[in-house]
Amino acid sequence: MPTLVFDQQLELQLRSARLASGADRYDEVWEAVYVMNPMPNDEHQQLVNRFAAIFQDVIDWPGMGDVRPGVNVSDRIDRWHENYRVPDGAVFLRTGAARNCGDFWHGGPDFVVEIVSVGDRTRDKIPFYAAVGVRELLVIDRQPWGAELLRLEAAELKLAGRSMPGHPESLASEVLPFTFHLEPGLARPGIVVSHTTSGREWIV
Q: Is the model's pTM score more than 0.85?
A: yes
Give which of 164, 131, 133 is closest to 147, Cα–Cα.
164
Helix (H, G, I), strand (E, B) or coil at 127: helix
Are the CB atoms for 117 and 43 separated by under 8 Å? no
Same domain for 12 and 66? Answer: no
Same domain for 66 and 152? Answer: yes
pLDDT reading at 157 higher than 90? yes
pLDDT reading at 172 higher than 60? yes
Same domain for 3 and 35? Answer: yes
| DSSP characters over 3-61 | -----HHHHHHHHHHHHHHTGGGG-EEETTEEE-PPPP-HHHHHHHHHHHHHHIIIIIT
Cα(9)–Cα(145) distance, integer angstroms = 41
Are the CB atoms for 87 and 104 separated by under 8 Å? no
Which region among 27-31, 102-106, 124-128 has the lowest average model confidence (pLDDT)? 27-31
Number of domains in the chain: 2
Are the CB atoms for 191 and 182 separated by under 8 Å? yes
pLDDT reading at 44 higher than 80? yes
Cα(1)–Cα(160) distance, integer angstroms = 32
- pLDDT tens figures, 46-57: 999 999 999 999
* pLDDT category of residue 4 using cuts at 50, 70 and 90: low
CATH for 195? 3.90.1570.10
Same domain for 76 and 51? Answer: yes
Helix (H, G, I), strand (E, B) or coil at 82: helix
Cα(91)–Cα(150) distance, integer angstroms = 15
Same domain for 138 and 174? Answer: yes
Q: Would you tell me how many other CB atoms lie within 10 Å of the CB of residue 165?
A: 17
**pLDDT cut 90: percent of the chain above it:** 75
Q: For residue 3, what pLDDT is reported?
A: 64
Residue 16 structural domain? 1-39
Same domain for 7 and 85? Answer: no
Cα(77)–Cα(156) distance, integer angstroms = 22
pLDDT, averaged across the chain:
92
Helix (H, G, I), strand (E, B) or coil at 79: coil
- Once rounded to an integer, what is the mean pLDDT over residues 23-35? 79
Same domain for 86 and 123? Answer: yes
- pLDDT tens figures, 46-92: 999 999 999 999 999 999 999 999 999 999 999 999 999 999 999 99
Q: For residue 77, what pLDDT is reported?
A: 98
